[in-house]
Structure 1
Amino acid sequence: MMANTYIEGCSFRFIKGGKVLKTFYTEKLDFRNSEVIEKEFKILLDAKIDSAEELENWLRQQSKLYDALQEGLNGHYIQFQCQSDSENAKAAYEHDQQSIQPLFKKYKALLDEKFYQSPYRLELDQSYYGLLNQRIKNAMDLFRQENIALEIKEDRLSTNYFEHTGSLTVEWEGKEKPLSQIYPYLQDSDRSIRQKAMTAIFEKMETKSDQLQTILSELIQIRQKKAENAGLANFRDYMFKKYERFDYTPEDCKELAESVRKYVVPLKEEIERKQKERLNVDTYRPWDMRGVPADKKPLKPFENVDRLITGVAAIFGNLDPRFAGLLGAMNDKGMLDLESRKGKAPGGFCESLPLSGHSFIFMNAAGTQYDVATLLHEMGHCIHDYLKKDIIPSQYKDIPMESAELASMSMELMTMDRWDEFYSNPEELIQAKKDQLEDIIRFLPHGVIIDQFQHWLYEHPEHTATERSQKYKELTERFDSSFTDWSGYEDWMANHWQAVLHIFEVPFYYIEYVIAQLGAVQMYKQYKENPEQAVENYKKALSLGSTKSLTEVYEAAGIRFDFSGDTIKELMAFVAQELDELEN
């Protein structure tokens, strides 16, 4: 048996707005002492393996260590995002990036090699372990020791991005408010308020534009060097290997963008034309995209996060009681940080805590329908984590984003018929559903723009900041609707990418949203035809983790891993039909 020197489990709490939240993660290893963690790795590395059975047991022990490490790392990340202005939270997170993560990467590569070189590897059941073999071989081909130091610098620059953007506030009605609390005003029925809100956001982001340009320039050079170290021409090719994109190619992404331009952009232009008519404005401006007519009010589904939680729990109670129970348990354990506040990072996410068997949801709620969709979306990730939490080895709990986002985006759509929990007024319910479906059409062009922008960034790593923003503007003009008049705001149109944190923190993580959104529309179509079967297929697919290929996971869900032009044309016709039925 392999001994271990785990410290006794320590539970950690997080202080929010002066209130101490309940314990939300467990630190079973002493992250302050890298030597203790290294000892755990060496035990695995030195272990004697004399049979296939012992190799399988070794994988189980490795999974326990990986889960303990990931729990602590994710816990520290959560704390930093919740308190991006906290020096203690920042110090713990940076210690992980500079000391623990490099150690993890170093020994993971050594353990991968130990597994791959084992004479007993091929005696394992290849119908189950075959994909693991492929993934470990891919990781071994990509790993370079010298890239670890580069990744420390890369992580530090990503942290700088959050420091710049997480602290941004604007003065609004005599109070300093974070940007996340200004976005709801973009839905106001008063056009002057919408313009004021958008201008305030634009101008505040503009104060950080030069710094964000510099950060990305430095990131691109570091990332290009990583690719060259691995023997690849550019960072795009590096990330396709790192993300294990075995099911599609960069050329497929370019063809997808062209299909979106052909089949989605005309629908978006029609949506914008109708919005212009509803608002009765002469010129359609950026602040008109989300506005409501003067005789109506923006949707206000809840007054506080407690109501948001109870409402979503009620929706889940009708869809699948286990989902409602999971949300309730997360709330009881302090796994939800939903309010917007100063000093909190922007955005929203779900982070897995694999040792505890739970997940944590982070978001910045402001009382909008977008927040309802966001909590449902993030709960889709949590349900995914829950359904795959017992999979061994732990590598199979690491899922490709095309699968992860299928879980979250499908949850938004499959719950729409139960949104009357938030809207007793039938007209408001119809509007919420229309907004959701229209957002699919609005998003897909944006998604391929961000993806193609990143392809260009790393295919041309020597470009200047000016060329970068000009290229983004060109891509926007090519792949998005031309209906909006950006006069006077051309600089923001060219620099809008700076608000997309993925470009800085998780490069090339964006096309997955597009692919998964197309999968989610298929799930919704299936749900409309047979709700119970769709939910069962959904759970079946999620419970696979990454033990199967993306194509097989989508098949288990009862849908196709297919984003060809014909499929996009078919799915957009379905969405258009759904919108017509809501309008008539």
Structure 2
Amino acid sequence: MDNTEYFVINDLKVLQAQFEELLQAQIQSSKEFEDWLRHQSRLLDEVDEQLKQHYIQFQCSTYNQQVKEAYDFDQKHVQPLVKHYKSLLDNKYYESPFRLQLDPEYFGLFNKKVGNAISLFNEKNIALEIEEDELVTKYFEITGDLTVMWEGEEKPLSDMQVYLQDSERTVRKNAMTLIQESVLSVEGDLQLIMDKLIALRHQKAQNVGLQNYRDYMFKKYERFDYTATDCFELAEAMRQYVIPLQKKFQEKQQKTLGVNTFRPWDVRAVPTNEKPLQPVQNVDELVKRSFHILENVDPRFSALLQEMNENNLLDLESRKGKAPGGFCEYLPTSKQSFIFMNCCNTQDDVVVLLHEMGHCIHNELMKDIEIQQYRNVPMESAELASTTMELLTMEYWDTFYTNKADFNRAKREQLRLMVEYLPIIIVVDQFQHWMYENPNHTHVERKEKFQELARTYDSNFVSWEGYENWLATKWLSILHIFEAPFYYIEYAIAQIGALQMYKQYKENRKQALINYKKALSLGSTRSVKEVYEAAGIRFDFSSQTIKELMEFVEKELELFEEE
């Protein structure tokens, strides 16, 4: 049972034999039962590592036919087989008389996770998930291939983001127009993909006796600590206390730019006497300087980045045929993390790399947890790790900016953009609640609903007059809606937590770092609420907490103005 590292997952007979050996194992004691669990984790880790390697390769080269074939094979053959056997193994675990002899302190949450997984499994859903994966792959193929012509050069959309900050209003308007037109050129295809995904996902929920896919995903994501109602209450708290601050920032931005009407292409713009922040000229500089920043926070963190760089575990450049976005994947057998992103030499690159390093640090701190399910952390914990790292590193960003004005500007921009981002998170989350509670809606209704939600939970200070369709279709380029439905509210929850961590860090740096590492090292052995408590913060979305944090952010921004 220990020879899992000597097979490749595309040999289905060998893979099946590995699972059968586990399934047929005769267990005679609670000790053998725990050993059996560890063997299962090692097998699942090896399978997971190879699946993730194929996923990474596809994201890096969406046009590569050989890579795509391997990824497709995983979706059509490997993953269905794994899901089938994982369900059988879950049942074997749950039905074993030795389960109740395990340490309830350690295995209590594990029992809850396995019971939840059993309640969600239906063999019919495996075929539906193959179709679902194929549709998501199609989404990435379409969006990864989008380019625009800019000054005679073909550019992927990620490279156009820097022009949205240009001090020349015509430049940023032209850049946004090209980006939007490029996305809208494939709107019909993406809308149809969404139609099919909604139908499949609704059927999956019904197959396990749930009313809608939202309820299915809350169980799938093991959201044991909050409900859909809590999400609606969080949305209202954001509407009350975040939008007014967001509007205040936008009014100030309008005044700084000297424009009569504040347009979507003005949100990220710099004034005429400034240039967009450009911390680096290339990826090598980004990695080198990020190393020095992490060294200041904790040498263990910088050593991890250096190791990843030396082992070719970074793919940071933007290029045609590469999927959009950024992510970190953990390779559990190698015990290594991989970072994927699309650099365009802006301040966003600094934030994204440090954000993804937060995930890598999280992986590193829990790599000694033997049980796989306890390393599969809920996204509320995962995003706390990454968003906190953005804020803990801010005081060292002078590594990128020798000019103090630029340094303070980068810090101000970080906090301002967090506030700007929170309403968008709420809009996307509420949009998905509506989509899956009303699965028979039309394309027109879908666009109208997104626009309605944007006007309710986002600042109305931005004028979309004449460009309403851009707002109504803004969701098309948000890959989470297609690939990881309902994975978005975690960003808001994590930002609430990260701002608390930042406040704690300013008050007692040493203790905050101890708490941060302690919380991350728990993995998923404790509930999300307990992980947040271990970090020294509250898992709390109340209006009072949001109000207090927005007041804190405003005071911090005043300090950066004064420095």
Which residue is 2:534 aligned to? 556
8 A contact 2:4–2:43 mirrored in 1: no
Distance in 2 between the 1:56 and 1:532 partners?
Answer: 37
1:407 paired to 2:407? no
Q: Give the unaligned 5+ runs of structure 2.
A: none
Alpha-carbon distance between aligned partners in 2 of 1:88 and 1:469, rounded to the nearest angstrom: 37
1:164-563 to 2 correspondence within 5 Å? 164-563=142-541
1:518 Cα shift? Answer: 0.4
Amino acid at match of 1:568: I
- List runs of 5+ in structure 1 lacking aligned partners: 8-28
Q: 1:161 aligns with which of 116, 139, 144?
A: 139
Q: State the TM-score, normalizing by the size of structure 2.
A: 0.99
Does the 8 Å contact 1:305/1:339 carry over to 2? yes
CA contact (8 A) 1:259 1:565 kept: yes
Q: Secondary structure at the match of 2:338?
A: strand
Q: How many residues align?
A: 562
Pairing 1:126–2:104 present: yes
Cα separation, 1, equivalents of 2:549 and 2:211: 36
CA displacement, residues 14-34 of structure 1 (integer Å, 9 cap, x when unaligned): xxxxxxxxxxxxxxx322211
Q: Is the 8 A contact 2:10 2:74 kept in 1?
A: no
2:33 is aligned to: 55
Q: Please, which of 51, 54, 61 is the counterpart of residue 83 of structure 1? A: 61
| Cα RMSD (Å) | 0.8
Deviation, structure 1 residue 89: 1.0
Give the C-alpha shift of residue 440 in structure 1: 1.1
Asked if the contact 1:3/1:43 (under 8 Å) is kept, the reply is no
Match of 2:155, SS?
Answer: strand
CA separation in 2, counterparts of 1:3 and 1:377?
35
- Between 1:404-413 and 1:82-91, the stretch displaced more is 82-91
Indicate if the aligned counterparts of 1:521 and 1:571 stay in contact, CA closer than 8 A.
yes
Aligned-pair identity in percent equals: 57
Cα offset for 1:3?
6.1
Give the CA deviation at 1:581. 1.5
Q: CA deviation digits over 1:269-301, x for unaligned, max 9? A: 000000001111111111000110011111000
Do 2:5 and 2:46's aligned partners in 1 also have CA atoms closer than 8 Å? no
> Counterpart in 1 of 2:24?
46
CA separation in 2, counterparts of 1:494 and 1:476? 9
SS in 1 for 2:473: helix
Q: Tell me the distance in 1 between the aligned counterparts of 2:206 and 2:19.
A: 29
1:137 equivalenced with 2:115 (yes/no) = yes
Shift of 1:202: 0.5
Q: What one-letter code is carried by the residue in structure 1 that aligns with 2:215?
A: D
Distance in 2 between residues matched to 1:504 and 1:385, nearest whole Å: 25
Contact 1:5 1:36 (C-alpha < 8 Å) held by counterparts: no
Q: Deviations over 1:387-427 (max 9, x none)?
A: 11110211100000000000000000010000000000000
Aligned-residue offset at 1:6: 4.6
